[in-house]
Amino acid sequence: MKTLFSAISCFFTLLFFGQQTSKNLIPFVKPIIGTQRMGHVYPGATAPFGMVQLSPDTDTIPYAVNGKYNPDVYRYCAGYQYDDKTIVGFSHTHFSGTGHSDLGDFLIMPTIGNLQLNPGTATAPSKGFRSTFSHENELAEAGYYKVKLDDHNITAELTASTRVGMHQYTFPKTDQAHIILDLMAGIYNYDEKNVWTYIRVVNDTLVTGYKQTNGWARTRTIYFAMSFSKPFKNYGQKNFDEKQVYRGFWRKFDQEDNFPEIAGKKIRMFFDFDTEANEKIKVKFALSPVSQKNALQNLTEEIPHWDFEKVKKQTQNSWNQELNKIQVDASPDDKTNFYTAMYHAFITPTVYQDRNGEYKGLDQDVHQANGFTNYTTFSLWDTYRTLHPLFNILQPKRNADMVASMLAHYDQSSLHMLPIWSHHANDNWCMSGYHSVSVIADAILKGTYTGDAEAALNACVITARKSNYEGIGYYIDKGYIPAEKSGISVSNTLEYAYDDWTIAQLAKKLNKTDIYNEFILRSENWRNNFNPVSGFMEPKLANGTFKKDFDAYSTHGQGFIEGNSWNYSFFVPHNPDALVTIMGGKKQFGKKLDTLFTMHLSDAFFAETEDITRDGIIGGYVHGNEPAHHVVYLYNWADQPWKTQERVRQILKMQYKPTPDGLGGNDDCGQMSAWYIFSSMGFYPVAPGSLEYAIGSPLITNAIIHLENGKTFEVATQNQSETNPYVKKIILNGKTLERYYITHDEIMNGGKITFIMSSKK
């Protein structure tokens, strides 16, 4: 009953639902945060970890113009840019916060008047089916989105269950109402990535089919079932692929008019209606990775009715349940930032399995998930750092399933590799490292994943020994990757070394001495790229000398990915003490950190660096990208914890704002948000695979973490204020904490930590 009383004492606004206390936290979630500039999140509707992400797309940008990469495509990773004035339509799949992209499947747009089957342009929206809109007429909530489409005088509302998107369109009176289903649309190279589309109009309220793309996921098929609340009076399609062959015998039908068997590469469909004033037409749109019939089963089982409000309510209830896993007290803005971070953290990875347990495996065959729910979209270079560790506390059941999903990926991989960056039954091998091993080791070491640990270790080891992948062979032979052999030789060596340390930790736990010895040795390889003369991690040539003309500021050609040496040189999360030593001791190390946080970067730096603006940095510290996410906590190892504390508070305030431009960089599938959640509660997992969390400085006044094991861990503060960032004292379960970390068990066993805050260092 401790939980309940603690809660009562802190939150006067608590509502009682039986024995459970649950607050309505939906008002604190602002999906619009991060939709401006580079957050790359979307404002539309999704259920927690849902397969469907139903959201407005504000433009359709080709990947290449006249054969050249179109840099503008980058802005549309999530399909929506806050500054845009038009909406092209609402599509059903989106990444949340990525820096490269895909998806954007099945774009739907309601229109009136003359039928237009091209999207038009941002500058001339009336030339196509898109519509102008304004943010005044827009509302984005967790699980619900609403907007007025000005050009068509239609109010569009969206909600979603796990596998089904639901649309509600309020039309004016017209005999020219249309619902367009654009099967050509897509995020990132929509113009090139479509491989095939197949559609069946089963009857006058049901359409099923699938779409295949060759995008970031090389071989991807996504199936759908689409149901209308009212029979359409007419339908048709246009095939925009002029090269499609073998039309011969199909001329036996007029295939553009009410013809139910449709296939091709570039297809847009339309469905016509008569509507009364304010008549609502609803659409249920289910997805499946496996088949049309599974999509239809998902549809009928998840939303067996036409009550839009009911779906919205159920999904918002689900969100409330997830959000209530941490009940915080903080300033309104901080609370909004916090719960929006919680929302963004609980979107990805996404469920990739049908109601009947079937999913498409990496081997492109259909599999039955036995004993777990299959997830996809593993942006592991980002999320191993903080998001999966957060799941080990807040979502252990799901994280165990995510580990099981990664191991299934391994089993289905003819490469015999764990995922690197995977989505929708494909791996695109994006970024450096092999960070699945960190997630798996962390989950097993923390007791989250209780499956076959030896099989899991074996998958990690086989992956880490994949000598023809990204310099691993050189790394094994020489202890580093020669700069001649890879453009990201230093990033990879540093990250492999950390990953190897997590394998060693897992091997130790399983008493696999040989494996432990092999990988603990490999985990020292970071030393091989450290140049004691410069004090930086630097690219090294095959002959053992460091590459000339090294530039610690540049992000290009220095052996790093999404970072420079200034940020990457601190990347030894598994052994900060050794790093402190090699860098000249605590004082020297602290000074180097000071320089990082205080330097002034030139305009030239920003001009040449993708993904980074002045918004995303503090001095030379880049928070908008991940490699230095742990760095602010390293002051603890320099015996200057107050610098961690003040800088953490600074990052929390500067990099996260409750505004559309509130995210300083890509949210990266929740990684940036997970950083916020941990840091705002005063602790952070510097090295997943370790059971320790470094102490920072809490931003919130109070937080109660409701654990799946039924226990609660409370984070309390005293003298908390914006001007009191320093932690004077910590009391854990009634005793003063004499160290700058807490352990995983201390959290999971439940209890209370109190931070006594101060304005003095």
Question: Which of 628, 626, 213, 670 minimizes the C-alpha distance to 428?
Answer: 213
Q: Could you say which DSSP state residue 74 is in?
A: G
- Least distance from its own copies to the Cβ atom of residue 70, Å: 13
Residue closer to its own copies, measured from CB, 46 or 625: 625
Residue 462 to residue 410: CA distance in whole angstroms: 10
What is the nearest approach in angstroms of its own copies to the Cβ of residue 304?
Answer: 21
If the CB atoms of residues 358 and 714 are measured against its own copies, the closer one turns out to be: 358
Distance in angstroms (rounded) separating the CA atoms of residues 413 and 416: 5
How do 712-718 and 751-758 pair as beta strands? Answer: parallel
Q: Which among 178, 321, 323, 199 has a CA at the least distance from the CA of 262?
A: 199
Q: Indicate the residue type of 386.
A: T
Q: What is the C-alpha to C-alpha distance for residues 468 and 485, in angstroms, rounded to an integer?
A: 12
Q: CB-based contacts of 579: which residues, under 8 Å, 6+ apart?
A: 526, 570, 572, 589, 634, 637
**Closest to 345 (Cα-Cα) out of 322, 371, 376, 315:** 322
Q: Which is nearer to its own copies, 240 or 606 (CB)?
A: 240
Q: How far is the CB of 65 from its own copies (least distance, A)?
A: 14
Q: Closer to its own copies at the Cβ: 49 or 95?
A: 95
- Comparing CB distances to its own copies, the nearer of 35 and 288 is 288
Nearest CA among 346, 496, 354 for reference residue 436? 496
CB of 487 to its own copies, least distance (A): 10
Shortest Å, Cβ 189 to its own copies: 6
Q: Which is nearer to its own copies, 7 or 561 (CB)?
A: 561
Q: In the complex with its own copies, which residue's Cβ is closer, 431 or 583?
A: 431
Smallest separation, CB 285 to its own copies (Å)? 18
Longest dimension (CA), the chain: 84
3-class secondary-structure state, position 64: strand
CA of 738: how far to CAs of 48, 523, 649, 690, 695, in Å? Answer: 38, 29, 22, 19, 11
Strands (E), 566-661: 617-618, 621-622
Write down the least CB distance from residue 469 to its own copies, Å.
7
CB of 455 to its own copies, least distance (A): 19
Nearest distance from residue 197's CB to its own copies, in Å?
9
Instruction: Report whether 653 contacts 666 (CB < 8 A).
Output: no
Cβ distance to its own copies smaller for residue 295 or 652: 295
Whichever of 269 and 330 has its CB closer to its own copies, that residue is 269
- Shortest Cβ 48–its own copies spacing (Å): 29
Listed residue (99, 187, 34) closest to 611, CA to CA? 99
DSSP 107: E
154 contacts 176 by C-beta, under 8 angstroms: no
CB of 644 to its own copies, least distance (A): 35
For its own copies, the closer of residues 379 and 569 by Cβ is 379
Rounded least distance, CB 429 to its own copies, Å: 5
Evaluate whether 723 touches 646 at the Cβ level (below 8 Å). no
3-state SS assignment for residue 263: strand
For the bound state, the minimum distance from the C-beta of residue 208 to its own copies, rounded and expressed in Å, comes to 8
- For the CB of residue 238, give the shortest distance to its own copies in the complex, in Å: 17
Give the pair of three-digit tokens for residue 43.
């404002």
Backbone angles phi, psi at 431, to 5 degrees: 75, -175
CB of 376 to its own copies, least distance (A): 17
**Are residues 442 and 504 in contact, defined by beta-carbon separation less than 8 angstroms?**
no
Minimum CB distance to its own copies smaller for 245 or for 533: 245
Say which residues have a Cβ less than 8 Å from residue 735's Cβ, sequence separation at least 6. none
Alpha carbon of residue 216 to chain centroid: 15
Across the beta sheet with 702-706, the strand order is: 326-329, 702-706, 712-718, 751-758, 726-732, 735-736
Please write down the long-range contacts of 651-656, taking CB distance under 8 Å and 24 or more positions apart.
651/618, 651/623, 651/679, 652/337, 652/676, 652/679, 652/680, 652/699, 653/699, 654/618, 655/615, 655/616, 655/623, 655/624, 656/337, 656/341
Indicate the angle between helix axes 436-445 and 489-509, nearest 10 degrees: 30
Query: Which is nearer to its own copies, 203 or 736 (by Cβ)?
Result: 203
Minimum Å gap between C-beta 254 and its own copies is 8
Residue closer to its own copies by CB (options 317, 458) is 458
Q: How far is CA 706 from CA 250, 605, 635, 709, in A?
A: 60, 44, 30, 8
Question: Nearer Cβ to its own copies, position 117 or 199?
Answer: 199
Q: Which is nearer to its own copies, 363 or 452 (CB)?
A: 363
Quote the CA–CA distance of 207 and 221 in Å, as a whole number.
17
Question: What is the closest distance, in whole angstroms, from the C-beta atom of residue 265 to its own copies in the complex?
Answer: 8
The two beta strands, 350-351 and 279-288, are unpaired
Nearest to its own copies of 195, 599 (CB atom): 195
Within a 13 Å sphere around the CA of 340, how many CA atoms are in the beta-carbon half? 30
Interface residues toward its own copies, by CB under 8 A: 63, 189, 192-193, 195-196, 198, 200-202, 208, 210, 212, 214-216, 218-219, 243-246, 249-250, 252-254, 258, 260-261, 263-264, 291-293, 363-366, 413-415, 421, 428-430, 468-470
The residue (of 174 and 292) whose beta carbon lies closer to its own copies is 292
What does the radius of gyration of the chain's CA atoms come to, in whole angstroms?
A: 26
Residues 600, 603: Cα–Cα separation, whole Å: 9
Relative to beta strand 220-228, strand 426-427 is: unpaired
User: For residues 261 and 722, which CB has a smaller minimum distance to its own copies in the complex?
Assistant: 261
Minimum Å gap between C-beta 193 and its own copies is 6
